[in-house]
A and B are shown apart, each in its own frame.
Chain A
Amino acid sequence: MAPGRPHPMSRRDFLIRLGQYAGTGMMLNAMASLGMGIASAQEIPPPLGPGNGKSVLILGAGLAGLCAAYELSRAGYNCTVLEARGFAGGRCQTARRGTVMEEVTGAHSVCEFDEGQYFNHGPWRIPYHHLSTLHYTKVLNVPLELMLNDNEQAYIYSERGTGALRGKAVRRQEVAADMRGYEAEILAKSIHQLELDSPLNEEDLERFVDYLVAHGALSTADRRYLGTRGRGYDVPRGGLLNAGSASTPHSMADLLDAGLWQTIRSVASFDQPKTMFQPVGGMDRIASAFEREIGHLVTYNAEISRITQNQQQVTIRFRNPDTNETQETSADFCVCTLPLFVLKNIESDFPDAFRTAMNAASAVTSCKLGLQMNSRFWEEKDRIYGGHSRVITELENVQISYPSHGFQGSKGIVQGIYNFGTDAVRYSVRSLDDRLEHALQMGEKIHPDYRSACETSFGVAWHLVKYSMGAYASWSQEAYNNEYRLLCEPSGRVFLCGDHMSYLPGWMAGAFDSTWQQLARLHEMAQNA
C-alpha cells in the first residue's frame, strides 16, 4: 500500500457498517450490487442491530434453529428454541455407543460400537466453499481434519458389464491410468486427421500433443500407452536388489466391456471436491458447539402441535411426547426450521397457498449403515486409507467408504451403505438384521475379510425417522420458480429456514445460508415494527 493512502475498508467492514447505519435492506441491496446476491453463498452472518429484547420463538434445534438462536440472542433478541427431540442437532448426528435410533415402523436399535468409535450417519463432509459452515466451525472452535473424498487406490467392482474384468475388484488408479492413456494415445495419433472446429495452427497442435503425452503417460517416442507407474506395481520396489516389477495395463476392450470407466471424471464435481473437511471427533461437534453457547435457550421434548398468529404475535402450542402435557407460548416473531414434510401436517393458520406450497417439495429417501470392523483390513491388506470403493450389481450401486480418521488403529467403522431414491426405499423395507446382511454381501465382494471382521452395525433410514421424514427436500426447477419463492417470504411473522429453504438441500450450509438471510429480513421487520 502506498504510504499516506487511507486504509482501505474491506468489503466485510463496509457491509457491516452499512448494515448498522443504513439498515439491513440497504445492506442486502449493496451486497447484490457487489455481486453477492442474496441467492449466493455469504461469507459472514448478516449484521443484526440491537434486538431490543424483542422475542423470537425458534422451532427446531437443528443447525438452522441453533444458528438462529445464536445470532439473534447475540443481537439482543429474547430467544426460545423448541425442539421435539431430546437432543440438539437435528440430522447433524454422530452415532456412538448408546445412540438410539427409532423408525416410525417400530424398528429400534441401540448403537453398540466400542467406546471411542463413531460414525456420522447424517452429514459427514464439508466442501471448502461452504463458507457459512466453515464460518461456524471457526468461530465456535470446532477443529477440522481432512476427509478424503477420493482415493484412487480404492476399488471399483461391477457385475453389470461383460469380459475379463466383470465381477473383479479393480483399483480405480488402474482404470484411470489405462482409460486416460488409451484416450490420449488415440487422440495423439489421429490429431492431424481430425477436422477440428477451432482453428489451431501446427504449433498449437504440437503443444496439444505434448499435453496428451503428459496427461496420458504416453511414450514420447511413438506416443503409445504402455502403462505407467501411477497405476501401481505388480511387485513394489524395495531395498537392495528389489527393483520391483511394473504392472501391465488392462486392455481397453476389457475396461469398456466391464463399464469400469464410470468413476472417471476430468475433475471432481463442485459439491464433491477430492478432499473435504470433517470435524475431529464427529459431525455432531458442530451441534454441540452451538449447544455450549445457547443450549440454555432450548426446551427439549417440545413437539409443535399448533402455529397461529395475529398482528402482534405468534403463538405456538407444543406438547411433551412422553407426558402428553401441552403448553402454549407466544413471541413477537417465529423462525420455523421444521422440515416441510413435518410442518405441513401441523395445525396452523398459514394462508392456504402457503400451506399448499409446502407440498411442492418432495422427500429424498436415503439410508446409511456403519459397520464396526475388528481390524482395519482395508488399510492393512489393501492399503486403502480413506475414500470410497464402489460395488455395482445388477440392481444397485453401493458406495463403501473408509474412515478418514483413526488410521492404523485397531478398529474402525466402515460406511457400508449410503444409498438414495429407490435403492434406499428398497433397502429400508428390510429388517435391521437383513440390512446388515445385505451390506455384508456387498462388502465381501471386494474384501474377503468383510464379514468375519464385522462386529456390530448401526444405521438409519432417514425417510423413516420421526421429525425428519426424509434425508432432505428436493425441489424441481419449476417448484423453485414458484412455490419455493412463496415460502421464502415470511408468512406474517413466521420465517421459514433450513436446508430445505436453499439451493443446497441436504447440506449444512443450506441451513446456515437460509437462516442468515431470513434473520436479516426478520431484523428489518422488527426495526420497522
Chain B
Amino acid sequence: MKSGFLKTCLFLTFILSGGIAVAAEDVAKGAQLYRYYCMACHQAEGEGIANVFPALAGSEVVLGSAEDVALVVLNGRGGMPAFKGSISDPDLATIITHVRNSWGNDGAGISAQRVSELSAGGGEKIRQDREQQ
C-alpha cells in the first residue's frame, strides 16, 4: 500500500515532455545549468539580446529538430561557442530539454544517449588547441 502510494507520487513528479519523461529534479537541474552556461548571452527568460544574441523563447530553431539544436550546442555556429567536451552529454541533454520546455516553448526533449551519438558521429570536431592565447 505504502509502496503503491510512493509509486504514484513518483509518477506525478514526472512531467511528460514530448515522449521523454523529465523528472522534477532534472527540471531544477536544467534551470541551474541554463543559468551557468546559457544565461550570460541568451538572458534569464530566454529573451536574448536584440540584434546580438538570438532569443530562445519562441525560437523556430529551438522548437525545430531537437537534434539540430544539439548539433549547434555541441559544435557551435557563428557567435555560438562549441560546448562539446566542456559540458557532459547528459548535462547538454538536460539543458536542451530545459530550453525546449521553458518560457512557453513546448518542444520534445532529447536523451543523453542521443546527444552522445550526435557528439560522437555528427562530424568530428577537432577543437583548436585550447591553450590560452
Contacts and interface: CB of A to CB of B under 8 A. Distances in A.
A362 B74 CA distance: 11
Contact of B132 (A340, A365, A399): A399
Contact of B123 (A421, A471, A476): A476
B51 interface: yes
A461 B40 CA distance: 10
Contact of B36 (A425, A464, A474, A505): A425
Nearest to A340: B78
A464 B53 CA distance: 9
Interface in A411-440: 418, 420-422, 425-426, 428-429
Interface in A317-366: 340-341, 344-345, 358-365
B101 to A, nearest CB: 21
A237 interface: no
A104 interface: yes
Contacts of B51: 345
Interface in A98-132: 104-105, 123
B81 interface: yes
A469 B131 contact: no
B128 A475 contact: yes
A507 interface: yes
A506 interface: yes
A470 interface: yes
Contacts, number: 105
Contacts of B52: 104, 466, 469
A506 B49 CA distance: 25
B41 A464 contact: yes
A477 interface: yes
B64 interface: no
- Categorize the interface residue count of chain B: 20 to 34
Contacts of B82: 362, 474, 476
A420 B130 contact: yes
B8 interface: no
A463 interface: yes
A269 interface: yes
A476 B78 contact: no
Given A418-B132, A476-B126, A425 B78 contact: no
Interface string B6-50: 000000000000000000000000000001111111010000010
B3 interface: no
Contacts of A466: 52
A425 B81 contact: yes
A470 B82 CA distance: 12
B49 A105 contact: yes
A104 B53 contact: yes
B83 A422 contact: yes
A390 to B, nearest CB: 12
B37 to A, nearest CB: 5
Given A469-B79, A505-B128, A425 B41 contact: yes
Given A345-B51, A422-B83, A425-B36, A474 B76 contact: yes
Nearest to B78: A359
Contacts of A506: 133
B132 A429 contact: no
Contact of B81 (A461, A463, A507): A463
Interface string A468-506: 011110111110000000000000000000000000011
A363 B36 contact: no
Contact of A363 (B81, B129, B132): B81
A271 interface: yes
A105 to B, nearest CB: 7
Nearest to A478: B123
B120 to A, nearest CB: 14
Contacts of B81: 362-365, 421, 425, 463, 470, 474
A47 B80 CA distance: 38
Given A105-B49, A362-B80, A469-B52, A478 B124 contact: yes
A245 interface: no
A141 interface: no
A477 B128 CA distance: 8
B128 A344 contact: no
A272 interface: yes
Contacts of B127: 474, 476
B40 A428 contact: yes
A429 B40 contact: yes
Contacts of B37: 422, 425-426
Contacts of B123: 476, 478
Contacts of A426: 36-37, 40
A477 B126 contact: yes
9 contacts: A340-B78, A362-B80, A422-B86, A428-B40, A469-B79, A476-B82, A476-B127, A478-B123, A478-B125
Given A271-B133, A478-B123, 15 more contacts: A271-B129, A271-B131, A272-B132, A340-B78, A341-B79, A359-B77, A359-B78, A363-B78, A420-B130, A463-B40, A469-B79, A470-B79, A470-B81, A475-B128, A477-B126
Interface of A: 104-105, 123, 269, 271-272, 340-341, 344-345, 358-365, 399, 418, 420-422, 425-426, 428-429, 461, 463-464, 466, 469-472, 474-478, 505-507
